[in-house]
C-alpha cells in the first residue's frame, strides 16, 4: 500500500471552506492510489480562538508563570481541537477516519518540554487504522514522553510531525500544505518577480529555512533528507503542483550547463546585533578565547558569523539575547561595542560550490545600490552579508536581480 502523508497548516484548517478544500486533497490522494495519513496544525494564527499563541496568552493572563509541563499540556489543545473538527469534516463527506493525539499515534519523545525531540514512533496503532481503511487524522506538534506526559516539538513542530510520521510509515511522500504556491526564490513581499521553484534540493531548502525563509521547519527537512522521502510544498487553496524537495532534480539532472543557475534563492533574517569585543587587557582571564566563548555558551547565548582576530572578536546575536550578553561583558569589565538594527542577507545554491567570482558578484550588486557590507560569512553553498536593516529590501532585490532569479529572466525551466 502506498502511503501519502498530508500535513495541513493553521491557515488551511482555519475555516469550514478551507477544511472542505482539505477533503478535496484527501479525495485526490485516494483517487491516485494512495492511502492518506492526515496531520494537522492548530486552527488559525495568533488571535484566533484556538491558535497556539492564543492559548499561551490565556495562561499568561492569570498572572503567574506556567511550568513547562503544564504549558505543553495547554498548547497541545489547539491541535486536538483541529484534528476532531477535521475528522468530522471528512466523516461528513463519507470517509471513515479517526482523530488521534500524538500520544495515540505512538510518537514518543524525550522530556524537553516545549522543544521535545522525537525518540521513536510506535506505528502499530496507525497501521491498525490503515489496515481497517480508516484515515488517521493526527495532531501535529506533539508527542508523549516515557512517563505519559504530553510534550510539544517547538515552533513549526507540525512540519516535523509530518516528516517523522512519513519516515516511520515509509511513505511515498510528505505533502506540506500551506497558503503559498510553493518554495519561492525570495520573499514575494520584498521581491515582486520572485518565482515558485518546481524543484529544490533538500540542502538548499534547509539552508533557506536556517537563513530566515519561512518555508518549512529545518528539522522536518533533516528527517526527510535522512530518509530520502520527497517533500512537496503545496497550496491548499489551489491545484498547483507546488515545489518538490528531493535529492534528485529532474530538471537539472546534476549535469553542468551554461543555463544552470548557480544560485537558487535569496533569504534574509533581521533583528540581529553585531558585537565587537576588544582585547585590550581590561578583561583579564576573559580575554582568553576559550574562556570567553565558554562563558557565553554556558549562558545559552547563540553566536553567528564569528570572526576571531588577535585583538578583537566579532560576531552577531539575536536582539533578544543582547541584554543577557551585556550583563556578562559589563560584569567582567570587557570592552565592547554594539551595532544594532542589523540583518543578514544570504544567497543559497548547491551549484556555487567551487565556482569562482560569486563573492565578487555579491559585492558588485550591493555596491551598485550603495549598501555597506558590515561582515560576511560563507560555506560551500551559502554566502551571507550583514547589513543595516534599513537596506534589506534593496539588498534582496539587488541580489535576486544580479543572479537572474526572477520570472522574466528564468528560461531554464521552460
The pLDDT score that the predictor gives to residue 257 is: 47
For the domain spanning 2-179, the CATH number is 3.40.1160.10
What whole-number distance in Å separates Cα of residue 41 and Cα of residue 60? 22
Amino acid 259: pLDDT: 56
pLDDT attached to residue 410: 45
Q: Which among 342, 347, 356 is positioned nearest to 314, based on CA atoms? A: 342
Residue 352 grid coordinates: 556555487
- The Cα 197–Cα 373 span in angstroms is 28
By C-alpha distance, which of 196, 349, 188, 182 is closest to 261? 349
pLDDT tens profile 296-334: 999 999 999 999 998 999 999 999 999 999 999 998 888
| Bridge pairing between strands 97-100 and 135-139 | parallel
At residue 15, the 3 state secondary structure works out as: coil
Prediction pTM value: 0.86
Asked if 12 and 180 count as a contact pair (C-beta separation under 8 A), the reply is no
User: In sequence order, which residues have a C-beta less than 8 Å from that of residue 168 and are 6 or more positions away?
Assistant: 121, 123, 126
DSSP codes joined into one string, 351-373: GGTT-TTHHHHHHHHHHHTTPPP
| H or E stretch covering 23 | helix 16-31
Tell me the pLDDT tens digit for each residue of 199-240. 999 999 999 988 988 889 989 999 999 999 999 999 999 999
Q: What is the pLDDT of residue 413?
A: 45
Could you name the CATH architecture of 265-402? 2-Layer Sandwich (3.30)
Distance CA 375, CA 381 (A): 18
- Which stretches in the chain have pLDDT values below 50? 252-257, 409-414
| Cβ neighbours of residue 400 closer than 8 Å, sequence gap 6 or more | 185, 186, 191, 193, 194, 266, 406
- Given this model, what pLDDT does residue 251 score? 53
Give me the residue spans of the domains in the chain. Answer: 2-179, 265-402
Handedness of CA 319, 325, 330, 331 (dihedral sign): positive
Report the distance separating Cα 18 and Cα 48, nearest Å: 15
Amino acid at each position: 500500500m502506498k502511503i501519502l502523508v498530508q500535513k495541513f497548516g493553521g491557515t488551511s484548517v482555519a475555516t469550514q471552506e478551507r477544511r472542505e478544500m482539505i477533503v478535496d486533497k484527501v479525495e485526490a490522494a485516494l483517487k491516485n492510489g494512495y492511502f492518506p495519513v492526515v496531520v494537522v496544525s492548530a486552527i488559525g494564527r495568533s488571535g484566533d480562538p484556538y491558535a497556539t499563541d492564543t492559548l499561551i496568552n490565556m495562561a499568561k493572563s492569570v498572572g503567574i508563570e506556567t511550568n513547562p509541563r503544564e504549558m505543553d499540556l495547554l498548547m497541545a489543545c489547539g491541535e486536538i481541537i483541529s484534528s476532531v473538527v477535521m475528522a468530522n469534516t471528512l466523516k461528513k463527506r463519507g470517509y471513515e477516519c479517526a482523530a488521534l493525539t500524538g500520544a495515540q499515534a505512538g510518537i514518543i519523545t524525550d522530556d524537553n518540554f516545549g522543544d521535545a525531540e522525537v525518540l521513536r514512533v510506535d506505528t502499530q496503532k496507525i497501521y491498525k487504522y490503515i489496515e481497517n481503511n480508516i484515515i488517521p487524522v493526527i495532531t501535529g506538534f506533539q508527542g508523549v514522553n516515557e512517563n505519559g506526559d504530553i510534550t510539544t516539538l517547538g515552533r513549526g513542530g507540525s512540519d516535523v510531525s509530518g516528516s517523522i510520521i512519513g519516515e516511520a510509515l515509509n511513505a511515498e511522500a510528505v505533502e506540506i500544505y500551506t497558503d503559498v504556491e510553493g518554495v519561492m526564490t525570495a520573499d514575494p513581499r520584498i521581491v515582486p518577480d520572485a518565482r515558485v521553484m518546481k524543484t529544490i534540493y533538500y540542502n538548499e531548502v534547509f539552508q533557506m529555512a536556517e537563513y530566515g525563509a519561512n518555508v518549512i521547519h529545518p528539522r522536518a527537512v533533516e528527517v526527510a533528507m535522512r530518509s530520502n522521502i520527497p517533500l512537496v510544498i503545496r497550496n491548499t487553496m489551489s491545484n498547483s503542483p507546488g515545489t518538490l524537495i528531493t535529492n534528485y532534480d529532474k530538471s537539472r539532472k546534476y549535469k553542468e550547463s551554461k543555463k544552470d543557475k548557480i544560485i537558487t534563492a535569496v533569504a534574509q533574517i533581521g533583528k540581529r546585533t553585531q558585537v565587537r569585543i576588544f582585547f585590550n587587557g581590561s578583561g583579564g582571564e576573559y580575554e582568553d578565547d576559550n574562556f570567553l566563548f565558554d562563558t557565553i555558551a554556558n549562558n545559552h547565548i547563540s553566536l553567528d558569523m564569528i570572526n576571531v582576530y588577535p585583538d578583537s572578536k566579532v560576531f552577531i546575536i539575536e536582539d533578544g539575547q543582547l541584554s543577557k550578553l551585556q550583563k556578562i561583558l559589563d560584569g567582567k569589565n570587557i570592552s565592547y561595542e554594539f551595532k544594532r538594527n542589523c540583518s543578514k542577507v544570504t544567497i543559497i545554491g548547491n551549484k556555487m560550490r567551487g565556482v569562482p567570482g560569486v563573492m565578487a558578484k555579491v559585492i558588485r550588486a550591493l555596491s551598485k545600490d550603495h549598501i555597506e557590507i558590515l561582515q560576511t560569512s560563507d560555506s560551500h553553498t551559502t554566502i551571507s552579508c550583514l547589513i543595516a536593516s534599513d537596506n534589506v529590501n534593496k539588498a534582496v532585490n539587488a541580489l535576486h536581480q544580479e543572479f537572474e532569479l526572477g520570472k522574466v529572466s528564468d528560461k531554464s525551466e521552460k
